[in-house]
A and B are shown apart, each in its own frame.
Chain A
Amino acid sequence: MSGPAVPLAALLSHPALAGLVVLGDGDSDPTSIGVETVVARSVATASEAAPRALLVLLTPVEATDWKMDAIIRQAHVAGASALVLASTSPLPLSASALARRLALPVYGTDDPFTTGAVARDLILARGSHTAAVINDTVRALRRPAGDVEHLVRSLAAAIAHPIHLVDATGHQFAGTAPAPPIDPAELRRLPIDAGAQVVPLADRLLITVPVPLGEGPGVWLGAEAPGHLPADAAAIGAALEVAVHAVGRQLAVDRLADERDARLRAALLGELADAVGAPPPELRRRAIHAGWSLDGWHIGIRVNPRTAVDTVARRTEVLAALADQGLHCEAVEQADGWAVWTSLDSEPAPTDVDRVAKAIRRAHRALSTTLSASVGVGAAHQGPSGLVRSLAEANDAARLAESRPASGYFVHIDQLGLAQLLLAWTRTDTFQPAARTLLEPLAGQPGDLLRTLTAYLDAESSLVEAAAVLGVHRNTVAGRIARTETLLGVRLDDPETRLALHLACRANTSG
């Protein structure tokens, strides 16, 4: 009985056959040798024909016995693709030289019966292999899993292949990272309602199943099988289809817990922000329970993704990126990103602040491969109110950073004064065109109206002061201001109008 040829390499790479020891002719390329069947025999009948077979000898032969040479010869004459001996002791020189001369790969095992049975199931696509894998999978699922990572790990042990969970972007978030990573386009091409799919990749098979989450195929449960063993791939596919429901359920349970925690964290931070003066003891207790140390010095960090993301799901990603740079942080999900901070025991020296800012910058850069975000960093402030204040500064800085691609979407408040911050606002890509439009009517008019208006507003709406700065008579200034009001159709006694024009002037002159 023989099936289509399976590469010897594929057979050898299967974990159940990992115990095979190379004894002779390790030089032959096992990918170029095909195996069609398994023949298990005692030594006495090794001379019967066994074309393209994995010839498994069930009785051990002393490696140094001359019969070893005879067996290798007979296996070669019988047409076997490879020989498995019932012993792992190294071959003497004559036997290994002979194996190399006859290009017959020789392997050893201490358990030839199991080796033979497993190899036969794998080559001949026996149902018993599938049943055994599913049985192991169900048993693994029966054990309670703490979280999805734990669940995926026990699945991997049951299926005996690396298992992973990836999202639609190809990002792996549980199990063993596929190497090289899976092209997400490959996943998107797959039908979502046809069960397990086998995707042949360059050097392995990817067997993958979409996880039913009720909102389309956001997550894929996959296994990697090295080599090309159709029987094994089918068994893994069946096992993954069984497992995928448990994984989906575990993901939902994990998500529920995460959502609850996120809500509690957001509420706590909100209450801290609203607290007038020192926070009440009850609030302090809850903060301590959440692991927040309120009394130290805090540096607020605001991370605002530039596209909509699931802030609950990806919070750990942000924390991990910061932790990689040696920053222990807290992060609270907000509507448009994360309020993050790191706490210090004592007032940080400028060099400390600089070090933290640099670490945040590195984390931001590392994060940018998977998550594009604007990041703002506040100044260091003390105590609960300091935390709230630094977070507010960070939030302002992050907003500012959104429109500053030149700085890598990163702004650190300490590096600009508050005034500069405001000024920086006026240089934003949205404000500048608006400023130009606003002051457009003054262009080309006699009397340098724009400069006069700027001087006037800079001089706190004092005609005398402005006239002194410009070196003209104050009546001239008054006339020009009146003309400006007419041309722009505004009244400068309105403070909001004054502010808007002042900013527009700044943008125009400095821009």
Chain B
Amino acid sequence: MSAADVPLLALGAGVLGAGGGGEPDRVGTILARRLGAGCHPVVALADLDPDATVVPIGIVGATQVLGEKLPAGVEFVETVAAIERWTSDRPDAVMGIEGGGLNGISGVLAAVELGLPYLDLDLMGRAMPRLDQFTWTAAGLPLTPCALAEPGGQVVVVDRVGPVALERTVRSMVSTTGGWAALALRPCRARELRDACITGSLARARRLGRAALAMGTGAPPEDCAATMGGRLLGSGRVTEVAHRPVPGGFGRGSVTVIDNTDGAVLRIESENEYLMVLVDGSVTATCPDIIALLDRHQARPVGVESVRSGIEVSVLVLSAPDWWCRRPDRLARVGPRAFGLDVDPVLIGRRRRPQEIGRAG
């Protein structure tokens, strides 16, 4: 890949962020600068030796702070150095931890900074808020030992904890330091990764980004949805944005959009990402399908943090990474009930209800 691909990737990663995961633009700017006029190799799992060592790298914490507390530029290198010292494993390739939002491309930036090829795999295939929503956790693989490096220079290695305890450690570290940190998870062999990761999120981001760019400005929302391979749920003006703080948890919110063709009332429930769409009171889409609000005029994703009353949006749903939907226990981790929404998952492209899928499988 080259610097010319970065805008496409950033745009597509934003769509896969489902409203969350942080804006990829800043990471994109740094990535484009690092790439300069050169190219960087992106490989598939089949291209690697089964014994090759792969390390998943990304950014955790409050992603908005990234704009205020700029990277020192050595965070990725330092996390990998720390994990290398701890495990004596020298990585041969870098993969992503999260398929959407800024982490959709931060793994690539890490690979560039480390001078290692980027393996187009990640642990989510979209943006999600919690570390227990990694495919490794769902597949029973450990996340530790892992290393964190924050922009102030502090480096922490965490080992021998489960995903819930790791989550607690990571959050307390970033909240008392720079607000965000580079995270390198347990280095593993390439053969371990078969059926334990989401494949091709970067390629998907590229496709989505190309579709969004190709549309240019003022494209009909139906076309926009079709080009992205998703379904248009409605398109119109945002009439209400409500935020409700939840004690001890992420704040909840809802966005109301009145469709400007048939007057349907769309209510989009959100946490860090958009989680569910009700059309005229019927649950029409839920996570883990990717719910995206696209600015009607620029075809750019509108995040949970930046959506405002009065803007014109198209509400799209794109299919969830297939890996999550193949087994009910995986779906339970990322479905609406995992976010406290008491409904069964409603997924596009899946006529059968998830429970029946489980029984059939």
A contact residues vs B (CB 8 Å cutoff): 64, 66-67, 69-74, 76, 92-94, 97-98, 101-102
Chain A contacts for B256, CB-based, 8 A: 92-94, 97
Contact A73 B240 (CB under 8 A): no
Contact B254 A94 (CB under 8 A): yes
Chain B contacts for A102, CB-based, 8 A: 280-281
Please report the C-alpha to C-alpha distance between residue A76 and residue B281 in the assembled complex, in whole angstroms: 10
Contact B242 A73 (CB under 8 A): no
Contact A66 B264 (CB under 8 A): no
Chain B contacts for A70, CB-based, 8 A: 278, 281-283
Contact of B240 among A66, A72, A92 (CB under 8 A): A92
Contact B265 A98 (CB under 8 A): yes
Task: Given A64-B242, A93-B239, answer yes or no on A101-B264 (Cβ-Cβ < 8 Å).
Answer: yes
Nearest-CB distance from B262 to chain A (Å)?
A: 10
A69's nearest neighbour on chain B, judged by CB, is: B281
B276's nearest neighbour on chain A, judged by CB, is: A66
Nearest-CB distance from A239 to chain B (Å)?
A: 43
B327-361 CB mask vs A (1 if < 8 Å, else 0) is 00000000000000110000000000000000000
Please report the C-alpha to C-alpha distance between residue A353 and residue B278 in the assembled complex, in whole angstroms: 81
Contact B282 A64 (CB under 8 A): no
Interface size on B (CB < 8 Å)?
20
Contact A94 B244 (CB under 8 A): no
Contact A72 B242 (CB under 8 A): no
Please report the C-alpha to C-alpha distance between residue A73 and residue B284 in the assembled complex, in whole angstroms: 12
Contact B265 A64 (CB under 8 A): no
Contact A98 B240 (CB under 8 A): no
Question: Does B269 lie at the interface of the complex (its beta carbon under 8 Å from any beta carbon of A)?
Answer: yes
Task: Given A94-B256, A101-B265, answer yes or no on A66-B278 (Cβ-Cβ < 8 Å).
Answer: yes
Task: Given A93-B256, A94-B240, A94-B254, answer yes or no on A66-B263 (Cβ-Cβ < 8 Å).
Answer: no
Please report the C-alpha to C-alpha distance between residue A211 and residue B281 in the assembled complex, in whole angstroms: 56
Chain B contacts for A74, CB-based, 8 A: 281
Task: Given A92-B240, A94-B240, A101-B264, answer yes or no on A72-B281 (Cβ-Cβ < 8 Å).
Answer: yes
A-B pairs, 5 with minimum CB distance: A73-B281, A94-B256, A93-B240, A94-B267, A98-B265
A-B contact pairs, 25 of them (CB 8 A): A64-B242, A64-B244, A64-B254, A66-B254, A66-B267, A66-B278, A69-B278, A70-B278, A70-B281, A70-B282, A70-B283, A71-B281, A72-B281, A73-B278, A73-B282, A92-B254, A92-B256, A93-B239, A93-B256, A94-B265, A94-B267, A97-B239, A97-B256, A97-B265, A101-B280
Question: Does B93 lie at the interface of the complex (its beta carbon under 8 Å from any beta carbon of A)?
Answer: no
Nearest-CB distance from B338 to chain A (Å)?
A: 16
Nearest-CB distance from A103 to chain B (Å)?
A: 12
Nearest-CB distance from B214 to chain A (Å)?
A: 33
B258's nearest neighbour on chain A, judged by CB, is: A97
Contact A69 B244 (CB under 8 A): no
Please report the C-alpha to C-alpha distance between residue A71 and residue B281 in the assembled complex, in whole angstroms: 7
A70's nearest neighbour on chain B, judged by CB, is: B281
Chain B contacts for A98, CB-based, 8 A: 265, 267, 280-281
A73's nearest neighbour on chain B, judged by CB, is: B281
Please report the C-alpha to C-alpha distance between residue A330 and residue B244 in the assembled complex, in whole angstroms: 71
Please report the C-alpha to C-alpha distance between residue A101 and residue B280 in the assembled complex, in whole angstroms: 8
Contact A92 B278 (CB under 8 A): no
Please report the C-alpha to C-alpha distance between residue A98 and residue B281 in the assembled complex, in whole angstroms: 7
Nearest-CB distance from B266 to chain A (Å)?
A: 8
Chain A contacts for B242, CB-based, 8 A: 64, 92
Nearest-CB distance from B240 to chain A (Å)?
A: 4
Please report the C-alpha to C-alpha distance between residue A92 and residue B268 in the assembled complex, in whole angstroms: 13
Nearest-CB distance from A271 to chain B (Å)?
A: 83
Chain B contacts for A94, CB-based, 8 A: 239-240, 254, 256, 265, 267
Nearest-CB distance from A402 to chain B (Å)?
A: 74
Chain A contacts for B258, CB-based, 8 A: 97
Chain B CB within 10 Å, residue with most, of A66, A93, A101? A66
Chain A CB within 10 Å, residue with most, of B258, B280, B341, B342? B280
Nearest-CB distance from B275 to chain A (Å)?
A: 10
B218-260 CB mask vs A (1 if < 8 Å, else 0) is 0000000000000000000001101010000000001010100
Please report the C-alpha to C-alpha distance between residue A93 and residue B264 in the assembled complex, in whole angstroms: 13
- Contact residues of B between 306 and 333, Cβ < 8 Å to A: none
Nearest-CB distance from B220 to chain A (Å)?
A: 24
Nearest-CB distance from A435 to chain B (Å)?
A: 88
Nearest-CB distance from B238 to chain A (Å)?
A: 10
Chain B contacts for A71, CB-based, 8 A: 281
Chain B CB within 10 Å, residue with most, of A71, A73, A74, A76? A73
Chain A contacts for B280, CB-based, 8 A: 73, 98, 101-102
Nearest-CB distance from B93 to chain A (Å)?
A: 42
Nearest-CB distance from A211 to chain B (Å)?
A: 55
Nearest-CB distance from A442 to chain B (Å)?
A: 98
Please report the C-alpha to C-alpha distance between residue A74 and residue B283 in the assembled complex, in whole angstroms: 11
Task: Given A76-B281, A101-B263, answer yes or no on A66-B239 (Cβ-Cβ < 8 Å).
Answer: no
Task: Given A74-B281, A102-B280, answer yes or no on A69-B240 (Cβ-Cβ < 8 Å).
Answer: no
B255's nearest neighbour on chain A, judged by CB, is: A94
Please report the C-alpha to C-alpha distance between residue A69 and residue B265 in the assembled complex, in whole angstroms: 9
Nearest-CB distance from B2 to chain A (Å)?
A: 44
B341's nearest neighbour on chain A, judged by CB, is: A66
Chain B contacts for A97, CB-based, 8 A: 239, 256, 258, 265
Chain B contacts for A66, CB-based, 8 A: 254, 267, 269, 276, 278, 341
Nearest-CB distance from B255 to chain A (Å)?
A: 9
Chain A contacts for B282, CB-based, 8 A: 70, 73
B256's nearest neighbour on chain A, judged by CB, is: A94
Please report the C-alpha to C-alpha distance between residue A102 and residue B280 in the assembled complex, in whole angstroms: 8
